[in-house]
Structure 1
Protein backbone atom coordinates (compact mmCIF):
# COMPACT_ATOMS: atom_id res chain seq x y z
CA UNK A 1 0.00 0.00 0.00
CA UNK A 2 1.17 3.52 -0.79
CA UNK A 3 -0.03 6.34 1.48
CA UNK A 4 -1.74 9.20 -0.34
CA UNK A 5 -3.52 12.35 0.79
CA UNK A 6 -7.08 11.97 -0.51
CA UNK A 7 -8.66 14.86 1.38
CA UNK A 8 -7.25 17.82 3.30
CA UNK A 9 -9.76 18.81 5.98
CA UNK A 10 -9.79 22.27 7.51
CA UNK A 11 -11.65 23.00 10.70
CA UNK A 12 -13.38 26.35 10.10
CA UNK A 13 -15.37 28.71 12.29
CA UNK A 14 -18.04 29.37 9.66
CA UNK A 15 -18.61 26.72 6.97
CA UNK A 16 -20.80 29.02 4.85
CA UNK A 17 -18.11 31.72 4.82
CA UNK A 18 -15.38 29.19 3.99
CA UNK A 19 -17.56 27.68 1.25
CA UNK A 20 -18.09 31.10 -0.30
CA UNK A 21 -14.34 31.85 -0.19
CA UNK A 22 -13.25 28.58 -1.80
CA UNK A 23 -16.16 27.97 -4.18
CA UNK A 24 -17.22 31.44 -5.29
CA UNK A 25 -13.94 33.24 -4.69
CA UNK A 26 -11.36 30.69 -5.84
CA UNK A 27 -13.53 28.63 -8.18
CA UNK A 28 -13.34 25.23 -6.46
CA UNK A 29 -16.00 22.72 -7.49
CA UNK A 30 -18.33 21.15 -4.93
CA UNK A 31 -18.14 17.39 -4.43
CA UNK A 32 -20.39 17.18 -1.32
CA UNK A 33 -22.41 19.87 0.43
CA UNK A 34 -24.10 19.20 3.77
CA UNK A 35 -24.94 21.41 6.75
CA UNK A 36 -21.65 21.90 8.59
CA UNK A 37 -19.54 20.16 5.93
CA UNK A 38 -18.47 20.88 2.35
CA UNK A 39 -15.99 18.90 0.25
CA UNK A 40 -14.44 20.70 -2.71
CA UNK A 41 -12.61 19.54 -5.80
CA UNK A 42 -9.33 21.43 -6.21
CA UNK A 43 -8.45 20.25 -9.70
CA UNK A 44 -7.39 17.26 -11.74
CA UNK A 45 -4.88 15.09 -9.86
CA UNK A 46 -5.19 17.06 -6.62
CA UNK A 47 -6.43 16.04 -3.21
CA UNK A 48 -9.91 17.28 -2.25
CA UNK A 49 -10.47 19.98 0.34
CA UNK A 50 -13.02 19.42 3.12
CA UNK A 51 -14.40 22.28 5.20
CA UNK A 52 -15.83 21.11 8.51
CA UNK A 53 -17.04 22.96 11.61
CA UNK A 54 -14.09 23.60 13.95
CA UNK A 55 -15.80 22.17 17.05
CA UNK A 56 -17.01 19.12 15.13
CA UNK A 57 -13.48 18.34 13.89
CA UNK A 58 -12.16 18.45 17.44
CA UNK A 59 -15.01 16.30 18.72
CA UNK A 60 -14.53 13.81 15.87
CA UNK A 61 -10.83 13.48 16.74
CA UNK A 62 -11.46 13.42 20.48
CA UNK A 63 -9.27 16.48 21.18
CA UNK A 64 -9.81 19.92 22.67
CA UNK A 65 -11.03 22.65 20.30
CA UNK A 66 -8.90 25.25 22.12
CA UNK A 67 -5.86 26.70 20.43
CA UNK A 68 -4.94 29.35 17.93
CA UNK A 69 -2.03 30.69 15.96
CA UNK A 70 0.33 29.16 13.46
CA UNK A 71 0.40 25.36 13.60
CA UNK A 72 3.31 24.78 11.20
CA UNK A 73 1.07 23.93 8.25
CA UNK A 74 0.54 25.72 4.95
CA UNK A 75 -1.13 24.64 1.73
CA UNK A 76 0.85 25.12 -1.47
CA UNK A 77 -0.11 25.63 -5.10
CA UNK A 78 2.65 25.48 -7.70
CA UNK A 79 1.61 27.73 -10.57
CA UNK A 80 2.85 27.62 -14.15
CA UNK A 81 3.82 31.30 -14.31
CA UNK A 82 4.28 34.53 -12.39
CA UNK A 83 1.05 35.78 -13.97
CA UNK A 84 -0.81 32.78 -12.54
CA UNK A 85 0.67 33.43 -9.08
CA UNK A 86 -0.50 37.05 -9.30
CA UNK A 87 -3.98 36.01 -10.51
CA UNK A 88 -4.51 33.53 -7.65
CA UNK A 89 -3.34 36.13 -5.14
CA UNK A 90 -5.82 38.67 -6.61
CA UNK A 91 -8.64 36.12 -6.54
CA UNK A 92 -7.94 35.25 -2.90
CA UNK A 93 -7.88 38.88 -1.82
CA UNK A 94 -11.05 39.71 -3.76
CA UNK A 95 -12.78 36.75 -2.09
CA UNK A 96 -11.92 37.98 1.42
CA UNK A 97 -8.52 36.42 1.95
CA UNK A 98 -5.61 38.42 3.34
CA UNK A 99 -2.34 38.84 1.49
CA UNK A 100 0.25 37.89 4.11
CA UNK A 101 3.28 38.27 1.86
CA UNK A 102 2.97 39.95 -1.53
CA UNK A 103 4.21 37.92 -4.49
CA UNK A 104 7.84 38.67 -5.36
CA UNK A 105 10.92 37.09 -6.90
CA UNK A 106 12.82 34.72 -4.62
CA UNK A 107 16.58 34.24 -4.22
CA UNK A 108 16.24 30.67 -5.49
CA UNK A 109 14.80 31.86 -8.81
CA UNK A 110 11.12 31.30 -8.20
CA UNK A 111 8.29 33.72 -7.57
CA UNK A 112 5.86 33.38 -4.66
CA UNK A 113 3.45 34.97 -2.23
CA UNK A 114 1.29 33.94 0.72
CA UNK A 115 -2.34 34.60 1.54
CA UNK A 116 -4.54 33.40 4.38
CA UNK A 117 -8.13 32.28 4.02
CA UNK A 118 -10.82 33.75 6.32
CA UNK A 119 -9.92 31.21 9.04
CA UNK A 120 -6.21 32.04 8.90
CA UNK A 121 -5.01 28.99 6.95
CA UNK A 122 -1.92 29.92 4.95
CA UNK A 123 -1.58 29.27 1.24
CA UNK A 124 1.74 29.66 -0.59
CA UNK A 125 1.32 30.33 -4.31
CA UNK A 126 4.60 29.78 -6.14
CA UNK A 127 6.30 29.00 -9.39
CA UNK A 128 8.59 25.97 -9.44
CA UNK A 129 11.61 28.11 -10.33
Structure 2
Protein backbone atom coordinates (compact mmCIF):
# COMPACT_ATOMS: atom_id res chain seq x y z
CA UNK A 1 0.00 0.00 0.00
CA UNK A 2 1.34 3.44 -0.96
CA UNK A 3 1.99 5.87 1.92
CA UNK A 4 -0.76 8.39 1.16
CA UNK A 5 -4.33 9.40 1.98
CA UNK A 6 -6.79 9.96 -0.87
CA UNK A 7 -9.94 11.14 0.92
CA UNK A 8 -10.79 12.68 4.28
CA UNK A 9 -14.52 12.27 4.87
CA UNK A 10 -16.63 13.89 7.56
CA UNK A 11 -20.09 12.53 8.40
CA UNK A 12 -22.17 15.71 8.75
CA UNK A 13 -25.63 16.18 10.25
CA UNK A 14 -26.71 18.94 7.83
CA UNK A 15 -24.97 18.74 4.46
CA UNK A 16 -26.36 22.08 3.27
CA UNK A 17 -25.14 23.93 6.38
CA UNK A 18 -21.68 22.35 6.09
CA UNK A 19 -21.57 23.07 2.36
CA UNK A 20 -22.43 26.74 2.95
CA UNK A 21 -19.76 26.97 5.66
CA UNK A 22 -16.95 25.58 3.49
CA UNK A 23 -18.00 27.04 0.12
CA UNK A 24 -19.61 30.37 0.94
CA UNK A 25 -17.92 31.01 4.27
CA UNK A 26 -14.37 29.82 3.63
CA UNK A 27 -14.45 30.36 -0.13
CA UNK A 28 -13.64 26.80 -1.17
CA UNK A 29 -14.80 25.33 -4.52
CA UNK A 30 -16.59 22.01 -4.81
CA UNK A 31 -15.70 19.42 -7.41
CA UNK A 32 -18.72 17.16 -6.98
CA UNK A 33 -22.09 17.71 -5.36
CA UNK A 34 -24.95 15.26 -5.05
CA UNK A 35 -27.87 17.05 -3.38
CA UNK A 36 -28.73 15.58 0.01
CA UNK A 37 -25.84 13.13 -0.17
CA UNK A 38 -22.27 14.36 -0.60
CA UNK A 39 -20.04 17.32 -1.42
CA UNK A 40 -16.45 16.70 -2.52
CA UNK A 41 -13.72 19.32 -2.60
CA UNK A 42 -10.23 18.72 -3.96
CA UNK A 43 -7.86 20.14 -1.34
CA UNK A 44 -4.54 18.84 -2.59
CA UNK A 45 -2.91 17.36 -5.64
CA UNK A 46 -4.27 13.93 -4.79
CA UNK A 47 -6.47 14.65 -1.77
CA UNK A 48 -10.23 15.13 -1.61
CA UNK A 49 -12.18 16.47 1.38
CA UNK A 50 -15.64 14.95 1.48
CA UNK A 51 -18.74 16.05 3.40
CA UNK A 52 -21.15 13.12 3.54
CA UNK A 53 -24.68 13.34 4.91
CA UNK A 54 -24.54 11.35 8.13
CA UNK A 55 -27.40 8.96 7.31
CA UNK A 56 -25.75 7.97 4.01
CA UNK A 57 -22.36 7.64 5.74
CA UNK A 58 -23.87 5.33 8.37
CA UNK A 59 -25.62 3.20 5.74
CA UNK A 60 -22.26 2.37 4.18
CA UNK A 61 -19.73 2.65 7.02
CA UNK A 62 -21.72 1.91 10.17
CA UNK A 63 -23.31 3.80 13.04
CA UNK A 64 -21.39 6.85 14.18
CA UNK A 65 -20.48 6.71 17.87
CA UNK A 66 -22.12 9.46 19.87
CA UNK A 67 -21.42 10.93 23.27
CA UNK A 68 -19.97 13.93 25.02
CA UNK A 69 -16.74 15.56 23.89
CA UNK A 70 -15.23 16.15 20.49
CA UNK A 71 -14.30 13.77 17.70
CA UNK A 72 -10.88 12.22 18.40
CA UNK A 73 -9.17 13.87 15.45
CA UNK A 74 -8.21 17.28 14.17
CA UNK A 75 -7.87 18.64 10.68
CA UNK A 76 -5.10 21.15 10.10
CA UNK A 77 -4.49 24.05 7.74
CA UNK A 78 -0.89 25.22 7.89
CA UNK A 79 0.25 28.66 6.78
CA UNK A 80 3.59 30.46 6.70
CA UNK A 81 3.12 33.20 9.32
CA UNK A 82 1.28 33.96 12.57
CA UNK A 83 -0.53 36.82 10.78
CA UNK A 84 -1.94 34.27 8.33
CA UNK A 85 -3.11 32.11 11.27
CA UNK A 86 -5.00 35.10 12.65
CA UNK A 87 -6.48 35.91 9.22
CA UNK A 88 -7.74 32.37 8.60
CA UNK A 89 -9.25 32.19 12.09
CA UNK A 90 -11.01 35.52 11.49
CA UNK A 91 -12.37 34.23 8.17
CA UNK A 92 -13.67 31.07 9.88
CA UNK A 93 -15.39 33.18 12.57
CA UNK A 94 -17.06 35.33 9.92
CA UNK A 95 -18.22 32.12 8.24
CA UNK A 96 -19.90 31.07 11.49
CA UNK A 97 -17.23 28.88 13.05
CA UNK A 98 -17.07 28.50 16.80
CA UNK A 99 -13.75 29.75 18.16
CA UNK A 100 -12.02 27.10 20.25
CA UNK A 101 -9.53 29.14 22.25
CA UNK A 102 -7.46 32.04 21.02
CA UNK A 103 -4.33 31.48 18.92
CA UNK A 104 -1.10 31.30 20.85
CA UNK A 105 2.60 30.54 20.71
CA UNK A 106 3.19 26.85 21.49
CA UNK A 107 6.08 25.40 23.47
CA UNK A 108 7.30 23.57 20.36
CA UNK A 109 7.81 26.88 18.51
CA UNK A 110 4.66 27.13 16.42
CA UNK A 111 1.68 29.46 16.60
CA UNK A 112 -1.76 27.84 16.44
CA UNK A 113 -5.44 28.38 17.04
CA UNK A 114 -8.55 26.24 16.59
CA UNK A 115 -12.08 26.60 15.28
CA UNK A 116 -15.03 24.22 15.07
CA UNK A 117 -17.05 23.70 11.87
CA UNK A 118 -20.87 23.35 11.94
CA UNK A 119 -20.61 19.75 13.20
CA UNK A 120 -17.97 20.57 15.80
CA UNK A 121 -15.01 19.08 13.92
CA UNK A 122 -11.88 20.84 15.13
CA UNK A 123 -9.63 22.61 12.67
CA UNK A 124 -6.17 23.69 13.72
CA UNK A 125 -4.73 26.69 11.90
CA UNK A 126 -0.99 26.72 12.41
CA UNK A 127 2.40 27.94 11.46
CA UNK A 128 5.03 25.31 12.12
CA UNK A 129 8.63 26.48 11.81
CA UNK A 130 10.03 22.95 11.76
CA UNK A 131 11.08 20.88 8.77
CA UNK A 132 7.79 18.91 8.76
CA UNK A 133 5.85 22.17 8.77
CA UNK A 134 7.64 23.36 5.66
CA UNK A 135 6.75 20.14 3.82
CA UNK A 136 3.02 20.93 3.91
CA UNK A 137 3.15 24.51 2.63
CA UNK A 138 2.31 25.21 -1.01
TM-score where L is the length of structure 1: 0.90
Consecutive aligned runs of 4 or more in structure 1 exceeding 6 Å deviation: none
Q: Deviations over 1:80-109 (max 9, x none)?
A: 111111111011111111110211111222
TM-score (norm 2): 0.85
Does the 8 Å contact 1:55/1:65 carry over to 2?
Answer: no
Structure 1 unpaired stretches of 5+: none
Secondary structure of the structure 2 residue equivalent to 1:102: strand
Contact 1:98–1:117, Cα closer than 8 Å, also in 2: yes
1:89-108 aligned within 5 A: 89-108=89-108
Q: How many residues align?
A: 127
Pairwise CA distance, 1:72:
1.3
Deviates more, 1:90-99 or 1:68-77: 68-77
- RMSD, matched Cα: 1.5
The gaps in structure 2 that reach 5 residues or longer are: 130-138
For residue 29 of structure 1, give the secondary structure of its aligned residue in structure 2.
Answer: coil
Deviations 1:58-97 (A, max 9, x none): 1111x22451432311001111111111111011111111
